[in-house]
């Protein structure tokens, strides 16, 4: 059983590492801000879930797992928010995506 959990956790960790790598590659190679953000958000969400999941399996049932779950929860709340704020700021400063026009929404109630 311990063996299975260990293997599972390493699969998760490796997959997370692969997603971080792809995200980094995309952030370097994509042509403009919006596509780069799309690539980088892979690191924020998918990779974070996989890596923290892997570490949680390593930690077993302990206080550390609860802390990791809290970290994951806050990460899943804050990273998309940061991406949203970044994209809003880019639109507000007048950066247009390659296709389709976006009007800055100043009064977004």
Partner 1 sequence: MIILFSVFLLALLVITALAIVRSESLFTAVILSGIFSLLMAANFFLLDAADVALTEAAIGAGISTVLFLGALALTGEQERSGSTSRLLALGVVTVTTLIVIYATFDKPRLGDPDAPVHQHVGPWYLEKTPELIDIPNAVTAVLASFRGYDTLGEVFVVFTAGIGVLFLLSAGIARRPEDVPPADKPGQGLRHYLVPRVVGRMLIPFIFLFGLYVQFHGDYGPGGGFQAGAIVAAAVILYALLEGEGEALRALPMHVLKWLVAGGALLYGAVGVAGMLLGSNFLDYSVLASDPIAGQHIGIILIELGVGITVTGVLLCVFHAFAARGKV
Least Cβ distance, residue 1 to partner 1 (angstroms): 26
Residue choice 81, 95, 96, 102 for contact with partner 1 (CB under 8 A) = 81
Site for partner 1 in 59-78 (CB under 8 A): 74, 77-78
Least Cβ distance, residue 72 to partner 1 (angstroms): 14
**Neighbouring residues of 32: CB distance < 8 A, sequence distance ≥ 6:** 95, 97, 98
Least Cβ distance, residue 74 to partner 1 (angstroms): 7
Residue choice 14, 32, 62, 88 for contact with partner 1 (CB under 8 A) = 88
Q: In the complex, which residues of this chain contact partner 1 (CB under 8 A)? A: 74, 77-78, 80-81, 84-85, 88, 105-109
């Amino acid at each position: 059983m311990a063996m299975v959990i260990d293997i599972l956790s390493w699969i998760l960790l490796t997959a997370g590492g692969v997603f971080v790598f792809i995200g980094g590659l995309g952030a370097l190679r994509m042509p403009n801000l919006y596509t780069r953000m799309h690539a980088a958000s892979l690191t924020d969400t998918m990779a974070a879930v996989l890596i923290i999941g892997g570490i949680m399996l390593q930690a077993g049932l302990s206080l550390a797992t609860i802390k990791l779950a809290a970290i994951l929860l806050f990460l899943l709340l804050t990273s998309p928010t940061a991406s949203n704020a970044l994209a809003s700021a880019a639109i507000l400063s007048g950066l247009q995506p390659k296709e389709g026009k976006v009007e800055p929404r100043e009064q977004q109630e």
